[in-house]
């Protein structure tokens, strides 16, 4: 039997094929994304680092050109990605022609920075049946205890939010010379699944639309409506020529500082004994030097030389007693 030039068997086959295609479209497609192999996901780190770079690039640091600057990072201590913020700010100062000093005393200007916000937010939207945990009493042997998620469409959006501020002042006069102003900067990443197919990845950290990590559509970068600050971006490669005069001046200053340190150095004090070795030492019986070493004394078995030597070095108690007896005997005679 024919219907409009087609047999009934052909029409049934067409309907069968169409039904299979529709069923396959509804059931096919399954995409998963590994969250992380590290403590922090790569997406989170990209969101924060991108927002940090944009916030610093929006600062007009051209006023620091040619000035000696000390960057004070103490108010960024403990902030997430602290090292990346500090290094990026120092890089931007150098790119704008500031002369960074490692010591506060060597700089005329101080730049301080602070962070009001450095973090991420996440929103999830699901059109379909969410995952459901069945009650314990309703569980049947061999049956699953959880009904899995059945999404018709699903969207996940992550946002990195950074709010940085900086200012500069002359530390000799205490006068303010510059401040950046504050407003939050964001970077985003959006993942979308349709009928289980995905994730389609879009956002400011991507160059276009990706499907499970592979580029599908590329896009040109577009501005978010803010006027970019003048100067060199921290994400653009560049080289900077060095000034030979500054190099020579730095060498001279370093040599002068080294010589000044030598002049101010104090030589270690030499040790002087409290009691000279030629004098009687503490703890020994002091001797009395005879009034005259040439006076004659009776023979007593002790020579004057021996007696004087003993007495000059402290002597002994026995020798001292004999000497007194000899003097008394001489005076009697």
In the predicted model, is pLDDT for residue 111 greater than 90?
yes
**Domain range summary for the chain, segments of one domain joined by +:** 32-135+145-219, 284-333
Cα distances (Å, whole numbers) of residue 58 to 52, 82, 109, 159, 203? 10, 18, 21, 19, 20
- Residues 92, 93, 96, 101, Cα dihedral to 10°: -150
Task: Tell me the percentage of the chain whose pLDDT exceeds 70.
Answer: 62
- pLDDT tens per residue across span 310-326: 444 445 556 666 666 66
In angstroms, the CA 276 to CA 286 distance is 15
Structure confidence at residue 305 (pLDDT): 45
Structure confidence at residue 156 (pLDDT): 93
Would you say 319 and 327 are in contact if contact means Cβ atoms under 8 Å apart? no
Name which of 53-67, 95-109, 212-226 the model is least confident about.
Answer: 212-226
Nearest to 46 by CA among 159, 153, 157: 159
In the predicted model, is pLDDT for residue 288 greater than 60?
no
- pLDDT tens per residue across span 38-73: 888 889 999 999 999 999 999 999 999 999 999 999
In angstroms, the CA 96 to CA 9 distance is 79
In the predicted model, is pLDDT for residue 279 greater than 50?
yes
Name which of 54-68, 99-113, 143-157 the model is least confident about.
Answer: 143-157
In the predicted model, is pLDDT for residue 183 greater than 70?
yes
Q: Quick one: CATH architecture of 32-135+145-219?
A: 3-Layer(aba) Sandwich (3.40)
Please state, rounded to an integer, the average pLDDT across all residues of the chain: 76
Evaluate if pTM is beyond 0.85. Answer: no
């Amino acid at each position: 039997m024919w219907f409009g030039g087609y047999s009934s068997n052909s029409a049934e086959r067409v309907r069968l094929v169409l039904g299979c295609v529709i069923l396959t479209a509804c059931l096919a497609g399954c995409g998963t994304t590994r969250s992380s192999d590290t403590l922090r996901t790569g997406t989170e780190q990209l969101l924060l680092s991108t927002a940090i770079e944009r916030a610093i690039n929006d600062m007009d640091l051209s006023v620091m050109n040619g000035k000696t600057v000390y960057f004070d990072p103490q108010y960024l201590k403990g902030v997430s990605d602290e090292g990346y913020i500090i290094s990026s700010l120092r890089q931007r100062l150098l790119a704008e022609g500031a002369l960074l000093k490692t010591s506060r005393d060597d700089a005329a200007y101080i730049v301080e920075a602070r962070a009001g916000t450095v973090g991420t937010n996440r929103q999830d939207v699901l059109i379909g049946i969410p995952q459901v945990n069945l009650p314990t009493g309703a569980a049947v042997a061999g049956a699953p205890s959880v009904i899995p998620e059945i999404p018709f469409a699903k969207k996940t959006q992550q946002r990195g939010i950074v709010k940085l501020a900086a200012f500069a002042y002359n530390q000799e006069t205490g006068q303010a010379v510059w401040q950046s102003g504050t407003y939050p900067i964001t970077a985003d990443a959006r993942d979308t699944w349709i009928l289980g197919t995905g994730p389609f990845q879009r956002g400011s950290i991507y160059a276009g639309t990706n499907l499970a990590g592979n580029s599908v559509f590329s896009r040109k970068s577009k501005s978010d409506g803010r006027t970019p600050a003048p100067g060199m971006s921290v994400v653009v490669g560049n080289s900077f020529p060095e000034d030979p005069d500054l190099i020579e001046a730095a060498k001279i200053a370093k040599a002068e500082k080294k010589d000044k340190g030598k002049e101010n150095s104090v030589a270690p004090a030499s040790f002087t004994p409290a009691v000279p070795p030629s004098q009687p030492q503490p703890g020994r019986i002091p001797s009395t030097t005879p009034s005259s070493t040439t006076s004659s004394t009776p023979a007593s078995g002790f020579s004057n030389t021996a007696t004087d030597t003993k007495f000059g070095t402290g002597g002994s108690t026995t020798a001292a007693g004999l000497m007194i007896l000899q003097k008394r005997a001489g005076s009697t005679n």
